[in-house]
Structure 1
């Protein structure tokens, strides 16, 4: 701070020093020409007396500017909000007042732009949510038409219609969940959940898909019950996204026919966390795509061969897991399969509370 102040006034110091030096030089020439003896201490005293106003000016100016410098330094060192950083109210000089006014104008302009963008975002969310809910009615009508087609003996047409309706329903649900991620704090409820029951429910929900894609799910766990701290709805959602990815990429095809594969759901209880592992033996992910799999809309090499790939599934898994306080890792070998592991930490405070309730 002091160094910055001196650098700002370096020109004044140099000009002042040059002026004092010029006066001393003229005085020295004068007394030399007159052959007058002037002791050295008097010259030093004169020089010091000439520099005294400069030192006094710098000291007063520094004390005047110091509150502003300190306020700026504190805000630069902290990670506070932008509003706190831009609303400085410690100006003492006219220059600082001009800078402070500039900061205020920048802040208010930024605040207006931010408010306008927030309104646009909320409008987009309302539009998407309303559109998705309106699509639920046509889907219900299509489902009724499926039953009528089954009754007329057009089972193949009804099955194709049901498959497309299911995909459309899944896409609409994904759209709704993506919109709700922005309001996650208002749409989540952390509680004790029995994770094996949730996984069994997910497996049973997709009975038809397991058969169609020739995947055989298997749940492995040494314990009979494992409780974790999470939001049941959002945890089911992220697990469901992993399962749907397995339907697309978790089995291999030979001459256009799917080869039966295994989809393993393994739950392991550690000392500080619970691991939920989803493992398939499908086509895997190329090594060059692994670093991008959690980015939105990234489909990679597999997306070019699967036209229905959206590139949003793993992004939503990663985002939802982070909002829940969980961690997600992915490992894959091309041609061998993919493993996704969700780590659910065990908060110590929660374990203590649970133990107290069981006393």
Structure 2
């Protein structure tokens, strides 16, 4: 709160104050008051006026400075009344009380809105679980009757199954910490599950898969990691190069600090201008626009889940040559492993 702006805001009060002084001065002259008395009265008059202004300024400055600073620091600015001391001047009390009522109303609205969103998420999650049952049955029936079912129907059902998974994990990613279970998992087994799930697509697209030096363990959630790897493998299949012997290679490197899992493919690659944005929500990039196959949500969910699990992920690529996705599993002495389960020390 600047004193110059405060004084400028008091211009009407100052004018009235000066007019009053000149009226008093005129009356003193009219009644032939001695000069010494006029000077003394004038000094007291101005001293009292300045004191009143300064006192009022100091009282208000303390409140408004705190109000401004707390508002700037808060992320949820509607909670600022909770951080303020009740002021000791009437104008401030009015502002404080009304801010409190506004904040209370806003908090109630936010709470109601948050509850409605959570209810909707729970309903969608339940609905996806129900929908996945007939989808899984269709996938199984198609697999058992390949000779009698057109391949295009099988592909569409698999796409539907994958999109249902994406919706489910997208919803859960907002509160993943309530769902995941950290355990010691074996990478080669998780990779094996992902490859079995995508076996038909890999065979159909004639993609050779190699798993090298992945017989190591990491601390994570097997279910979430399987979904993450499944999305990466699906992308490798989706963006393979034509007229090329396609490969997907899994490799793992381990040191004292972390385990690095790399998934390499020799597909169409990613343009350099898209590399920094592939994890952005709904970003399809040049490849997605060309093929009209991408929703731009898969890698966004993958990045979000990795962040929740405490893993790091990045992508390297050379256009029309290769792509490598790296996932880094950190090691932390803060945790210890008992019978495969992770507990805090």
Written as runs of structure 1 = structure 2, the 5 A alignment for 1:12-91 is 12=10, 15=14, 19=18, 48-65=43-60, 67-69=62-64, 71-73=66-68, 75-76=70-71, 78-79=73-74, 81-82=76-77, 84-87=79-82, 88-91=84-87
- Structure 1 residue aligned with 2:178: 186
- Structure 2 residue aligned with 1:132: 128
- Contact 2:190-2:226 within 8 A present in 1 as well: yes
- Structure 2 residue aligned with 1:341: 326
Paired residues in the alignment total 336
- Structure 2 residue aligned with 1:292: 277
Between the aligned partners of 2:263 and 2:142, the Cα distance in structure 1 is 33
Unaligned runs of 5+ in 2: none
Greater shift, 177-186 or 197-206, is seen at: 197-206
- Structure 1 residue aligned with 2:308: 323
Post-superposition shift, 1:86?
3.0
Higher relative contact order (CA 8 A, sep 6+): 2
* CA spacing shift, 1:147–1:220, aligned 2, 3 Å: closer
* CA spacing shift, 1:149–1:346, aligned 2, 3 Å: closer
Q: Indicate the SS of the match to 1:157.
A: coil
Between the aligned partners of 1:287 and 1:339, the Cα distance in structure 2 is 13
Unaligned runs of 5+ in 1: none
* CA spacing shift, 1:140–1:293, aligned 2, 3 Å: closer
Post-superposition shift, 1:112?
3.7
Greater shift, 265-274 or 65-74, is seen at: 65-74
- Contact 1:17-1:51 within 8 A present in 2 as well: no
Q: Indicate the SS of the match to 1:298.
A: coil
* CA spacing shift, 1:228–1:47, aligned 2, 3 Å: farther
Between the aligned partners of 1:238 and 1:49, the Cα distance in structure 2 is 80
Post-superposition shift, 1:171?
1.5
1:218 aligns with 2:210: yes
Between the aligned partners of 2:41 and 2:258, the Cα distance in structure 1 is 78
The one-character-per-residue Cα deviations of 1:121-180 (angstroms, maximum 9, x if unpaired) are: 234323422332232343254346437745xxxx16254433332222111111111121
- Contact 1:213-1:247 within 8 A present in 2 as well: yes
- Structure 2 residue aligned with 1:7: 5
TM-score by length of 2: 0.80
Post-superposition shift, 1:280?
1.1
* CA spacing shift, 1:323–1:71, aligned 2, 3 Å: same
- Contact 1:220-1:267 within 8 A present in 2 as well: yes
TM-score by length of 1: 0.77
Question: Cα RMSD over matched residues?
Answer: 3.8
